[in-house]
Chains A and B, each alone.
Chain A
Amino acid sequence: MKQILHGLFAAALTPSRLLLPVVGNKVPAGFPSPAEDWAEERTDLNQRYVPHPETTYFIQVCGDSMTSPIAERSIPNNAMLIVDRGREAKHNDIVVALLDDEYTVKRLYQRGNRLALLAENPSYQPMVLNEGQELGIWGVVTAWIMEPQ
């Protein structure tokens, strides 16, 4: 019965069917696993950092405008940004914005009528938008990834 074997074998090769720890799986022989009732799905980077893959994009930082003396706010050169376009940008978000036909990553300042893009690096001037000047927000930065240098 070649055809049946063919089907079975091909199915068993699919890795996703082997990898997922399904809760409540029966152990065929021997002592049942004491962990069975406590099994959980493995922690997944995508689940945490890319909840909306259809509106999420990767963009790489090029330059030092976002390096900051405050370590936890600093986004180093070459960092990979995770950008969600689906999110509504609000005050104090880090955004990818459109300025003079170029994309730039900056912190959004939006208080009252005042709108500005702030660099984290103190040697960069804030870019204050004038009355009537339009700011295009491309997406909101939700996290960044940095490989060891």
Chain B
Amino acid sequence: MIALVDVNNFYVSCQRVFEPKLEGKPVVVLSNNDGCCIARSAEVKAFGVRMGQPWHQIQDFAKQHGIIAYSSNFALYADMSNRVMTILSRYSPHREVYSIDECFLGLDGIPGDLTELGRDIRKTVLQGTGLPVCVGIGPTKTLAKFCNHLAKKRPQFAGVCEWSKLDAESQLRVMQEVEVGEVWGVGRRLSSSLNKEEIYSVADLQRADPETIRSRYSVVLERTVRELQEQPCIELEDTAPDKQQIMCSRSFGRNVFTEQELSEAISTYAARAAEKLRSQKSAAGALAVFICTSPFREKDPQYSKHVVVPLSQPSDDTLLLTRAALWVLKRIYRHGYAYVKAGVMLLDLQPNTAIQGHLFLQSADPLKRACLNDTMDRINQHWGRGMLRLASAGTDHKWKMRQVHLSPCWTTRWEDVPKVR
């Protein structure tokens, strides 16, 4: 048996833990640069505000209806997510953290009634973190996910739904009632092509012939069908595989025109990407840089460029990777455009212990560099991100993203801890 535990309206719920006055009020959390709504409280959903809706479209409406907006505070969300995942690891040795707010738990061999266990999980997470979760329990990951959907949408389950507790008749009924697009791994595009073959509901997909599905669609969808038929096909991944590529990119808070400002951004992103690279003990064999103007401003002249360069030797060195990134930028930068976004991507990742020596390359002493990077990481971990950086990253960062509605980092900064009377 597998459980899927998922936090309700995660980002909004995190904000509410530390600001009780938000309880019962309509709250949205905005994406980077305060662009779109990426989390909505139940009250906001009831107003018909869509996921991903641009904030400027609904700003007036929000004022009228007292919708409270927050900039995304990922330092807070990451910490709260960690807390939830740690609590969940008490319940099973097999845990797959699926996303920032979702986690699969392997429940095979766990004694006792699983619905009771689900209720205990809900109570313990709520008490320990203030975050409401729903639990779906099923014989496969896909059914656990489906039960989670039921637990969330149907009040009669009170937040916990176990597949095997439903009798055959109810199982069929709920599958008929839910659209096929809600099934894990079936997106909007796939569901519209399934609709053409008269597969509308979850029940329709569950009844489909797996072989036919494989030949018409893919092995992936075949597995989904089998999983809906209670046949486990997707295993629990206890250990997250190392990332195959590392990306650091942001939209700017305002248009950027000069090469100087773009260099600062690229240097900042390259350093952050290199830091992530070292934390998973990898080295990059290639690096990509991209810059682009806004496709939404159709009248403005458009330019976007994305260039990948192989490195002569795989590296995890901030100095070297930054130099390479700035070298690329110099070659792709064009004067006279309003840039809105830039990024650095590290590719061809490999373990940093197995770096082959280079016969002709006269590089800096690798031992000294490893030591320097390690020291830099430790200083930044202790004193805050970006405290120690290369001069090319600049200082005043006027291009930095807008976060007008940012809440305090309640749990990660001493100066931001909550106050009580």
Chain A residues with CB under 8 Å of chain B are 2-3, 5-7, 9-10, 13, 15, 52-55, 57-63, 65, 80-81, 85-86, 96, 98, 101-105, 136, 138
Contacts and interface: CB of A to CB of B under 8 A. Distances in A.
A3 B353 contact: yes
Nearest to B353: A7
B87 A96 contact: no
A54 B83 CA distance: 5
Contacts of B20: 98, 101-103, 136
B411 interface: yes
Contact of B420 (A2, A6, A10, A81): A81
B374 A10 contact: yes
A6 B367 contact: yes
A102 to B, nearest CB: 7
Contacts of A102: 20-21, 421
A128 B356 CA distance: 72
Nearest to B410: A57
Contacts of B419: 59-62
A54 B87 contact: yes
A102 B405 CA distance: 21
Contacts of B130: 85, 138
Contacts of A55: 83, 87, 127-129
User: What class of interface size applies to chain B in its complex with A?
Assistant: 20 to 34
A3 B128 CA distance: 46
A58 B415 CA distance: 11
Interface string B119-143: 0000010011110000000000000
| 10 residue pairs, one from A and one from B, having the closest CB atoms | A55-B128, A54-B86, A62-B419, A7-B353, A101-B21, A63-B421, A54-B83, A2-B357, A86-B128, A105-B420
Contacts of A62: 419-421
A106 to B, nearest CB: 9
Given A6-B355, A9-B367, A55-B83, A105 B421 contact: yes
A104 B129 CA distance: 18
B93 interface: no
B382 to A, nearest CB: 11
B418 A103 contact: yes
Interface in B358-374: 366-367, 370-371, 374
Given A10-B370, A54-B83, A103-B418, 15 more contacts: A3-B356, A5-B367, A6-B355, A6-B366, A6-B367, A7-B353, A9-B370, A57-B411, A59-B419, A60-B418, A61-B419, A80-B417, A81-B420, A104-B420, A105-B421
Nearest to B370: A10
Main secondary structure of the interface of A (DSSP, over half): mixed
Interface of B: 20-21, 23, 82-83, 86-87, 124, 127-130, 352-357, 366-367, 370-371, 374, 378, 410-411, 414, 417-421
Contacts of B128: 52, 54-55, 85-86
Given A57-B411, A85-B130, A103-B420, A6 B83 contact: no
5 contacts: A6-B355, A55-B127, A57-B418, A101-B20, A136-B20
A85 B17 CA distance: 11
A129 to B, nearest CB: 17
Kindly name the residue among A15, A53, A98, A138 whose own CB sees the greatest number of chain B CB atoms within 10 A.
Answer: A138
B421 A2 contact: no
Given A62-B419, A103-B20, A85 B129 contact: yes
Nearest to A86: B128
Contacts of B410: 57
B421 A13 contact: no
A138 to B, nearest CB: 8
Contacts of B367: 5-6, 9
B421 A104 contact: yes
B421 A65 contact: yes
Contacts of B378: 15
Nearest to A136: B20
